[in-house]
Structure 1
Amino acid sequence: MAVSSRARALYQRIADKIRTEITDGTLGPGARLPTEGEIAAEWDTTRSTAVQGLKVLVNEGLVVSDRPRGYFVRSRRPMVYRPQAEFMKRPLSPEMDTFLTQLSEEGREAGQHIEVSVVVPSRDVRSRLQLSEGELVAVRRRVRFIDGVPYNTNDSHFPLDLVQGSEIMNPDDIARGANVVLAELGHEQVRALDEIQVRMPTPDEADRLQLGPGTPVGVHLCTGFTGEGRPVRVVVNVLPGDRHVITYERSKPRLSSTPIIRVATATDLDTVVNLWGHAAAWLAERGTRQWQYPPRAERIAENIAAGECWIVEDEGAPVATITVDEHADPDFWSPEEIDDAALYVHRMVVRRDVSGLELGSALLDWASTHAAEQGKDWLRLDAWRDNTDLQAYYTNRGFTHVRSVDVASRGSGALFQRVAGYTRNVGPKLAEERAHDHS
């Protein structure tokens, strides 16, 4: 039996209605709200209930009280905060650092107040900087202003022994950035760990940022590390929730510099079948008939058992598969060709989220080298006859079209070959890792 929700109190419904009018634009920034008496009359209630509803909106930061004039919709121009800008190049003029430049371009007046002090770090900062009990830090405390309003705080903590006597100890803006100063001191940051929390402000934070009641803050903690893994900077950014939009930009993941190619084992059967199935689904979306049948798991298992099926892994995740063997399909290749010393490529699949990185080219180069190491003369394959894009792909990678063979009930039959040992050296380098047990 469904449980009915409890009816919302009248003051909450008053707040809900006005909140909706603010969010849908009916009441724009700076608009004057109805008076307490007008709201009470509209809802047939008391002034105290109307005031209670208005206080909800004040605490949410949507409305400001300006007695005796009344209540007004708060004008809000959120700042776009981009944590990924940490390692961006900075302008070289002190008055136009990253923060000031961004706001200037938006036609807003920006400023900041900087203090520097030597303090005993908090437990959290000491832990992130991996300091011993009693070690001190230099902290650069900044309040950033937009149009005269404090928008956020930015407190950077450094191990004192690293920055003593440097520009970091001066309460002035550093034109080229504290990161550059650290690098000049021999402690370049190459990696950062970002942590974001959402909570209510501490009394000190509320005072520094002149926050009204009920305003939550986002806290961005950024720990910077050197190439040796030493933490050298902890930044605590406090961002009032009513003044910021936190924006992250993410790029498509790239392959690592050296993906691993290894022979598949029996436990990889499902992985190979799934890679094949995903490729078949992608082809179906593009209207091709290629691979539109269930994967032949028994044949894949035979290739795995024979050590002929290979898996490519990037940082432990399977991203591609290829099978290379001596099986020349008699439906396509002539008896004379079957007698040639050749390796044949089957079921080469590259996962779609790493497409466009020439991983397929690297696999063909690997297979070509593999064939030459076995004393073969040719690397061969048969492609789908009506997949002209795929045929062009192989042609562009050094394969010669031998001929196309039309066999009833077979979609494949476009035959290609290239000389064993030929490589184009395009795409990532594959590091071969051989397994000792193919069972």
Structure 2
Amino acid sequence: MAVSGRARALYQRIADKLRAQITEGTLGPGDRLPTEAEIAAEWSTTRSTAVQGLKVLVNEGLIVSDRPRGYFVRSRRPMVYRPQGEFRKRPLSPEMDQFLTQMSEEGRGASQHIEVKVDTPSRQVRDRLQLKEGELVVVRRRVRFVDGVPYNINDSHFPLALVQSSEIMNPDDIARGANVVLAELGAEQVRALDEIHVRMPTPEEADRLQLGPGTPVAVHLCTGYTKGGRPVRTVVNVLPGDRHVITYERLRPQIGDALIIRPAIVGDLGTVMELWEHAASWLRERGIDQWQYPPRKERIMANIQAGECWIVEAEGAPVATITVDEHADPDFWSPSESGDLALYVHRMVVRRDVAGLDLGSAMLDWAGQEAVRLGKEYLRLDAWRTNGELQRYYRDRGFTHVRTVEAADRSSGALFQRAANYRRGTGPELTTAPSAATTD
């Protein structure tokens, strides 16, 4: 027999019902709730129990008490707060800084109160600005108002030794922005570290923002650094939870403009094998039997040591590999063909998360350029005999099918070649890095 949970107290059930009505929209922003007497009558209880239930919702920030008028659903019209806007260009009008411009575009009235003071920094500010004990800061304290309501606190802290006698000391808006002033002082911010904490407000914060009970705040700490890594500004933004939506916009890095191809070194053996196994796993998932055997470690190592194995990197991360050599496989290419001037492609692998870049075409074009540099006439390869899709891929990239050879114990053997100077011209550009010394 199941044991039922403890029954909720009556005041909690009163709060539950009213909360549900607010959540479902039966009671909308600004609507007046039933009076304490009406609630008590509906639930056949005392007025004090009704008040208990209402106080639960007050503490949750869902309703406000406006005596003697009663209790009302809190109206919420949050401001969209975008930390990533810090380094965007600002308007030049002193009356229209970044915050005021955003509110004006949304059709809302905005203003701000600014004061400047020299102060002893808190521990969190001192640590972030890497100040010594006793060093002072200049604080630009701002409360920002939207439609007459204090919406957030924006307190910027600067090392006094850096900004004294500058425009930052004036208790007015800086038309061109504090970032520009810092740059003029030789301390341009090029990097920012954002930290977000969620907590209840301090009494001082609640007073500055006129917060009612049950309103948590998000604290956005932003520290700006110069190119040399010196912290020059720490901003403490206090954002009431009922008045803000924090929005971050993230862009996927475009790696196509920053790809290098370099010779693999001995220490890259594991990387090449991982790329191989990554490709083999993808082929297996698609029901293709190609490369369904362990990578031939000794052969890969021999190619690396001979300078024939190459790795493509994006911002230092390996995303592809290709091996090119001058050795015609005797199982496939005839003795007369082996005498031709050709460069042969092996183990071309592209990570699936960058497959959309057409990196394979770029590597084949690069291999063709290598063939020309070495005085070769052809770029050749042997493809898996049963992988028709792969063979179509090579045909689409200018290769001609020479013939298919069925050699004993070999699953490859569909032979392709194209002129060494052929260039498809799709995919990203690859920059060839200089050879590095081979290391263990």
Give your verdict on TM over 0.5.
yes
Deviations 1:391-427 (A, max 9, x none): 47634xxxxx333646689798472424279897952
Counterpart secondary structure, 1:31: coil
Aligned to 1:429: 431
**Pairing 1:296-375 to 2, within 5 Å after superposition:** 296-299=293-296, 302-307=299-304, 308-315=308-315, 317-326=317-326, 328=328, 333=333, 335-357=335-357, 359-360=359-360, 363-364=363-364, 366-368=366-368, 370-371=370-371
Residues 252-309 of structure 1 deviation map (CA, whole Å, 9 limit, x = unaligned): 1233846564246443365123431465379x4xxxx7x5545332446633444254
- In structure 1, what is the equivalent of residue 178 of structure 2? 178
State yes or no: 1:276 paired with 2:282.
no
Whether contact under 8 Å (2:117, 2:138) holds in the other structure is yes
Distance 1:390 1:432, change over 3 A: farther
Structure 1 residues 334 and 123: alpha-carbon distance in aligned structure 2, compared to 1, 3 A threshold: same
Residue type of the alignment partner of 2:181: V
Is contact 1:82–1:246 with CA below 8 Å preserved after alignment? yes
Letter of the 1:431 counterpart: A
Preserved contact between residue 260 and residue 433 of structure 1 (Cα < 8 Å): no
Match of 2:220 in 1: 220
Indicate the residue corresponding to 2:126 in structure 1: 126
Quickly say closer, same or farther: Cα 1:274–1:149, change in 2 above 3 A.
farther
What SS class does the counterpart of residue 431 from structure 2 fall into? coil
Q: CA-atom RMSD, angstroms? A: 3.4
Q: Could you say what secondary structure the match of 1:95 adopts?
A: coil
Q: Contact 1:385–1:404 (CA<8 Å) still a contact in 2?
A: no
CA distance in 2, matches of 1:210, 1:342: 78
**Aligned-pair CA distance for 1:435:** 6.4
Which range is displaced more, 234-243 or 381-390?
A: 381-390
Q: Secondary structure at the match of 2:379?
A: strand
Distance 1:114 1:69, change over 3 A: same
**CA offset at residue 361 of structure 1?**
5.2
Deviations 1:161-215 (A, max 9, x none): 2211221111111111111111122211111111111111111111111111121
Structure 1 segments unaligned to the other structure (5+ residues): 396-400
* Offset of residue 379 of structure 1: 2.9
Kindly tell me: are residues 134 and 391 of structure 1, through their superposed partners in 2, closer, same or farther at Cα, counting changes over 3 Å? same
Alpha-carbon offset, residue 41 of structure 1: 3.5
Question: Using the alignment, how far apart are the partners of 1:260 and 1:9 within structure 2?
Answer: 69
Q: 2 CA distance for matches of 1:349 and 1:29?
A: 58
Matched with 1:398 is none
Q: 1:324 to 1:4 in 2, by over 3 A?
A: farther
**In 2, Cα distance between equivalents of 1:281 and 1:112:** 62
The alignment covers a number of residue pairs equal to 427
**Residue in 2 that maps onto 1:46:** 46
In structure 2, how many angstroms separate the alpha carbons of the residues matched to 1:167 and 1:324? Answer: 61
Aligned with 2:95: secondary structure?
A: helix
Summarize deviations over 1:22-61 as a string: whole Å, max 9, x none. 1222211111212223333333433222222211211121
State the partner residue of 1:147: 147
The answer to which of 423-432 and 208-217 deviates more is 423-432
1:117 match: 117
CA contact (8 A) 1:279 1:349 kept: no
Distance 1:406 1:8, change over 3 A: farther
SS for the counterpart of 2:77 is: coil
* Aligned partners of 1:381 and 1:417 also within 8 Å: no
Matched, 1:403 2:378: no
Q: In the alignment, does 2:194 pair up with 1:194?
A: yes
Distance in 2 separating the partners of 1:75 and 1:357: 48
2 CA distance for matches of 1:192 and 1:162?
Answer: 18
Contact 1:385 1:413 in 2 (8 A): no
Question: Aligned residue for 2:108?
Answer: 108
Shift of residue 109 of structure 1? 0.5
| In structure 1, C-alpha distance between the alignment counterparts of 2:396 and 2:159, rounded to whole Å | 55
Contact 2:371 2:420 in 1 (8 A): no
Whether contact under 8 Å (1:279, 1:351) holds in the other structure is: no
Q: Name the CA shift for 1:77/1:143 in 2 (closer, same or farther; >3 Å).
A: same
Rounded Cα–Cα distance in structure 2 between residues aligned with 1:364 and 1:2? 69
Moved more, 380-389 or 86-95: 380-389
User: C-alpha separation between the residues in 1 aligned to 2:416 and 2:290?
Assistant: 21
The 8 Å contact of residues 341 and 378 in structure 1, kept in 2 or not, is answered as: yes
Structure 1 segments (4+ residues) deviating >6 Å: 1-4, 407-412, 420-425
Q: Which SS does the other structure have where 2:173 is aligned? A: coil
Instruction: Label 1:373 to 1:391 Cα distance change in 2 as closer, same or farther (>3 A).
Output: closer
Matched-pair contact (CA < 8 Å) for 1:266–1:305:
no
> Any unmatched runs of 5+ in structure 2?
none
2:159 pairs with 1:159: yes
- Work out the CA distance in 1 between the residues paired with 2:392 and 2:56: 62
Contact 1:260 1:314 in 2 (8 A): no
What residue number does 2:418 align with? 417
Name the amino acid aligned to 1:417. R
